Chain A
């Protein structure tokens, strides 16, 4: 047993940490999220130069051959800075699809482009009426000669406005919620018939509704096997959850630390509010919630390689933990800041908004409680 980090992992963490410290202070981020583009493309290039985008990919494709733990340490640091650039959609999810299911051609062409910062990928798996069920797909892909024709509407694709390519889940056979019949496609944004409706999100990101109107793609666009895509999707989403948990830990760490610091400084009734026992116990509970979340984040990242049932249970359990802990920590961080906590000017509110929306990403607490229960029977 060993819970220490390798030298490479420490180096990666330090690289991201330094980037956030030097270039992603609160004011800079505020400008980024209000700008027309909503992100800094030049930062993305710098991520490429720093090797951040290469971490999980094989050395054969120009990657660093890193593990889930490499992603974990980086995501934690990105979370501390509330970095909006699309590392999770592009590298973790997009990269995951390409690594686990991509064809030799995808790997040879798309992975190097991702690593080089030239290709942003936005996975579009959710649908307006599917809630969190990854198999509930109204989007169809019908065989058309050698290729396929896609029709449908994908919801809230994070990073969509910046994407060069979408990864789209669609139904190639079976009924609307069947496990069989799900296929994954890699589609260029500028393909005829594909259009987007772009918007900011409440937590400072950008996302798109993706409309597919007779979008023709060739069979080369398929990632993984026709009709058998659901296992691949679940695997990649579980990896996404593991990374998201790490981001959440970074966010929660900030919420806890900033609240403690504020409670030392803020004086009412002639004393620091941190001296009131009721607030002390609240902050202790915030800290306990945070520590449990870190543990669960290690757990899920270490179990990503296990058989599917174990992996799924680990992911759902961790997602439940960070959902609950995030809510407790976020709400109380705001509460202890008093009026300051609900202002846009103060960073704590932005961490609160992010941790809130993390619960909805990849399925909320209720969804994962049910998934966990189904796997435990």
Chain B
């Protein structure tokens, strides 16, 4: 066992650090500090995506043939850590991390040529059409109908909780091509749908954090006789579940610890700025400090869990159900971060600032960091619900890791 990076990795780390620091401009930093849900607006998201694409760094997991940087596992990890350290925007995962790998693994050459470059370059925005009103945790019960019409499918039904559908040019959907099957995982197909097709409509879902217009995080998407050419199907008809599951492993296999450690630094800064009502600063309050330190210790446990998993990966092992461990602990820590920020800002958690991105001459009630505190706390309840709820993750661990 050894913790130290090699010389070449250290040089790489410096290079990453310098470039990220250069392209993360003041505007992006300002918007990030005011984000209620971890994202900035579409313009900012695209700007960041393109800055990474230009350098060849936007899709670390892709093969070099399609623009991947050919990094080692250590380099990928360093890249993640440096992004988290600086607090850069999350690259919208739906293209690069979700549908991209599926197209790479199961797509035809035509599909690869058509879809991968615009994903890479950030020219098209993708969204994920898995969940339906009746099919959340029980995804395999999905019902959206795709009728076989010879050269195309005719789609009818609805998808819900679709992140950033209002910004999307394309959606990848799980649809039911066979409703007669006994096992519901069968009879599902994976199709790519142009969001500009006739018959698609998007209805915003307003979340608790009170987003402003067009900045909503989630939507319901309705499909009314939408034609999808068969060439937009991934892999075989009725075999979509296999591709869908492949994607989920990518969705859940994030690193959490570096960004949580960064967030803890931010809490320390806020606590140093807030008074404790006893003539000192909140950071001097032993009880509050205990909570921050406790969280930091848990983040360290998380960090070394991630390192262990990642070391196993570089030796050629698959992540498998370990991604569920990361998802459970990581999401719960993200929530605790938002809880501590809200606690730190005291009474100034109350004022509601509708548009936290807006620049105004009128000072806000309370400090700038207080504005997004409560909305972020409300919004981050999502992290234990989405990408497979934490109850479902624990079921997976019980079954696949503990063998219960």
Interface residues, chain A, with chain B CB atoms under 8 Å away: 126, 128-133, 136, 155-156, 158, 176-177, 197, 199-203, 205, 207, 209, 267-270, 276, 278-279, 331, 334-335, 338-339, 341-345, 349, 352-353, 356-357, 360, 364, 366-367, 369-370
Q: Which residues of A contact B276 (CB under 8 A)?
A: 131
Q: Which residues of A contact B381 (CB under 8 A)?
A: 331, 334-335, 341-342, 352
Q: Are A207 and B351 in contact (CB under 8 A)?
A: yes
5 residue pairs from A and B, CB less than 8 Å apart: A155-B348, A202-B378, A209-B365, A335-B389, A339-B385
Q: Roughly how many angstroms separate A331 CA and B338 CA in the complex, as a whole number? A: 13
Q: Which residues of B contact A339 (CB under 8 A)?
A: 131, 136, 160-161, 218, 385-386
Nearest CB to that of B390 among chain A residues? Answer: A335
Q: Roughly how many angstroms separate A202 CA and B371 CA in the complex, as a whole number? A: 10
Q: Roughly how many angstroms separate A349 CA and B381 CA in the complex, as a whole number? A: 10
Minimum C-beta distance from A333 to chain B (A): 10
Number of B residues contacting the other chain (C-beta, 8 Å)? 51
Stretch at the interface among B1-9, B93-101, B187-195, B205-213: B205-213
Q: Which residues of A contact B378 (CB under 8 A)?
A: 202, 342, 349, 352-353, 356
Q: Are B206 and A202 in contact (CB under 8 A)?
A: no
Q: Which residues of A contact B349 (CB under 8 A)?
A: 202, 357, 360
From the candidates B275, B288, B384, B386, name the one contacting A129 in the complex (CB within 8 A): B275
Main secondary structure of the interface of A (DSSP, over half): mixed
Minimum C-beta distance from B21 to chain A (A): 33
Interface residues, chain B, with chain A CB atoms under 8 Å away: 131, 134, 136-138, 141, 160-161, 205-208, 210, 218, 274-279, 282, 285, 287-288, 335, 342-343, 346-353, 365-366, 374-375, 377-379, 381-382, 384-386, 389-391, 394
From the candidates A132, A197, A205, A356, name the one contacting B377 in the complex (CB within 8 A): A356
From the candidates A132, A156, A335, A353, name the one contacting B365 in the complex (CB within 8 A): A156
Q: Which residues of B contact A335 (CB under 8 A)?
A: 381, 384-385, 389-390
Q: Which residues of B contact A133 (CB under 8 A)?
A: 277-278
Q: Assuming the A-B contacts A339-B161, A352-B378, are A278 and B391 also in contact, with contact meaning beta carbons closer than 8 angstroms in the complex?
A: yes
Q: Roughly how many angstroms separate A9 CA and B353 CA in the complex, as a whole number? A: 39
Nearest CB to that of A339 among chain B residues? Answer: B161
Q: Assuming the A-B contacts A341-B385, A353-B378, are A132 and B207 also in contact, with contact meaning beta carbons closer than 8 angstroms in the complex?
A: no
Minimum C-beta distance from B338 to chain A (A): 11
Q: Assuming the A-B contacts A131-B274, A155-B365, are A338 and B136 also in contact, with contact meaning beta carbons closer than 8 angstroms in the complex?
A: yes
Q: Which residues of A contact B278 (CB under 8 A)?
A: 133, 136, 177
Q: Roughly how many angstroms separate A366 CA and B141 CA in the complex, as a whole number? A: 45
Q: Roughly how many angstroms separate A331 CA and B385 CA in the complex, as a whole number? A: 11
Q: Roughly how many angstroms separate A133 CA and B276 CA in the complex, as a whole number? A: 8
Nearest CB to that of A132 among chain B residues? Answer: B277
From the candidates A155, A158, A197, A338, name the one contacting B137 in the complex (CB within 8 A): A338
Q: Roughly how many angstroms separate A366 CA and B287 CA in the complex, as a whole number? A: 7
